[in-house]
Amino acid sequence: MSSQQQPPTAEGADANAILEPAATRVRDPRSGRSAWMARLIEGGRVEGDTLRFTLKTTRAHSAEDREKLKGGLLRQIEALGWKGQVVIQMSVVDDAPPAATPRPLPGVAPEHRAHDHSHDHGSAHDHGHDHGHAAPAAKKKDPVAGMSGPGMGPHGGPIVKQPLNGVKHIIAVASGKGGVGKSTVATNLAVALARRGLQIGLMDADIYGPSLPLMMGVSGKPFANDDKKIVPLQAHGVKCMSIGFLVDEREPVIWRGPMVMGVVRQFLQEVDWNPLDVLIIDLPPGTGDAQLTMIQAVDLAGALIVTTPQQVAVIDAMRGVEMFRKLNVPVLGVVENMSFLALPDGSVLRPFGRGGGQQTADTFEVPLLAMMPLDEDVREGGDLGKPVALRDDAHGRPWADVGALVAEALGL
């Protein structure tokens, strides 16, 4: 974490307390997961001042892959402060590690949507017999309760789904619960993708609690161009838009739902995002007006779910996944944030428990993309407007890995 940490001592150290955070930051080139989540590490033990473990690769791994994994593990173990000897035994097995490519969720295939559409037309035809007057068509049930009805119209008129000119992919970063680091994930993901040479936009849809201006280190008032489109501000190679640019930072936004829905729609359709490879939308926590407006207004390429290992966060994260699933939005994967805290003696503290991200990913059959540690440098970068993804060190590389996985899932 910080430069003031003392290196872990060899005697009495837990091998996995060193190996897990190290291997979490090394990407397996075959599966796309971290070496730890791909289960490439086994048999870790400390003998005197020597750390020993087996690197278990498959026949699908090339010699170059194995050298990259080995070199990456050695660098990360050293970065964690281990000063003893490291002995890596190489092993090759037949079974391939689990793939990280997102799988379609049950019931959200395009064929299913097409079937629903044709069925609706068939029902209308069945009610078309001449009995003096036509019977009213049955109202189609909302996929998510409360989507329509009195008071649900957005401020400024009905929502009309339309493509965003020049934007190739739109993804949402979401969480069911606040305080899990969703905006930290969104900002660092945006920077990581921009550093890959992609054209990236970041839209802050959290109207009540905008954090993009602080975390991206950008301020000012956007202006309209000749086409009457709002020109987004830029920071770290990312186009940015937030309600925080339009109101005083100490001024509370006290709006009812329809006004929030109207602003989200404006940020989507009345901002000059063109051209973009990816527009990342940092959603507020929960499953409310902003989320539904966005899903109804544009076609999402996918959603990224953020949770902590804690069960109270997992329960809400699963509600978020279920919302996207019911509204036919694929989930690209899960990021478990605040997974562990690496201590100066080489041990690992888990203040929020363990396994929540994996549980969410397994339940919905989507990849667990990363297990991010509690990291003082990440916090400091967000407070200073310099996301840690700008760096090429041990603190920044995990975000680069998540960016690579998301880019791969989008075909970029």
In this prediction, residue 94 has a pLDDT band, given cuts at 50, 70 and 90, of confident
| Fold match flag (15-93 vs 167-409) | no
Residue 142, helix vs strand vs coil: coil
User: Does an H or E element contain 56, and which?
Assistant: strand 50-58
Give the model confidence (pLDDT) of 103-146 as tens digits.
Answer: 333 333 333 333 333 334 343 334 444 444 444 445 555 554 44
Please indicate whether residue 144 or residue 278 has the higher confidence score (pLDDT).
278
Strands annotated E in 244-359: 276-282, 302-307, 331-336, 341-342, 348-349
Q: Phi/psi of residue 119, each to 5°?
A: -65, -40
Residues in contact with 123: Cβ distance below 8 Å, sequence separation at least 6, in sequence order: 137, 138
So what's the pLDDT on residue 5? 36
Preceding omega of 373 cis (within 30 degrees of 0): no
Q: What average pLDDT does the segment 324-349 reach? A: 85
The class that CATH gives domain 15-93 is alpha beta
Give the model confidence (pLDDT) of 28-78 as tens digits.
Answer: 888 877 888 788 999 999 988 899 999 999 998 998 899 999 999 998 888
Please count the CA atoms within 13 angstroms of the CA of 308 that sit on its side-chain side. Answer: 19
**Domain covering 167-409 assigned CATH 3.40.50.300 in the classification:** yes
Q: Is 80 exceeded by the pLDDT of residue 85? A: yes
Cα–Cα dist 283/400, whole Å: 21
Residue among 330, 376, 377, 334 nearest 355 (CA): 334
So what's the pLDDT on residue 222? 87
Cα–Cα dist 160/299, whole Å: 11
Sign of CA dihedral 28, 34, 39, 42: positive
In this prediction, residue 290 has a pLDDT band, given cuts at 50, 70 and 90, of low
Hey, where are the domains in the chain? 15-93, 167-409
So what's the pLDDT on residue 8? 41
Q: Is 80 exceeded by the pLDDT of residue 18? A: yes
Q: Is 50 exceeded by the pLDDT of residue 27? A: yes
Q: What average pLDDT does the segment 378-405 reach? A: 93
Please indicate whether residue 10 or residue 25 has the higher confidence score (pLDDT).
25
In this prediction, residue 197 has a pLDDT band, given cuts at 50, 70 and 90, of very high
Residue among 320, 242, 260 nearest 286 (CA): 320
Q: What is the mean pLDDT of the chain?
A: 78
Please count the CA atoms within 13 angstroms of the CA of 362 that sit on its side-chain side. Answer: 6
So what's the pLDDT on residue 396? 92
So what's the pLDDT on residue 141? 56
Q: Is 80 exceeded by the pLDDT of residue 359? A: yes
pTM of this prediction?
A: 0.65
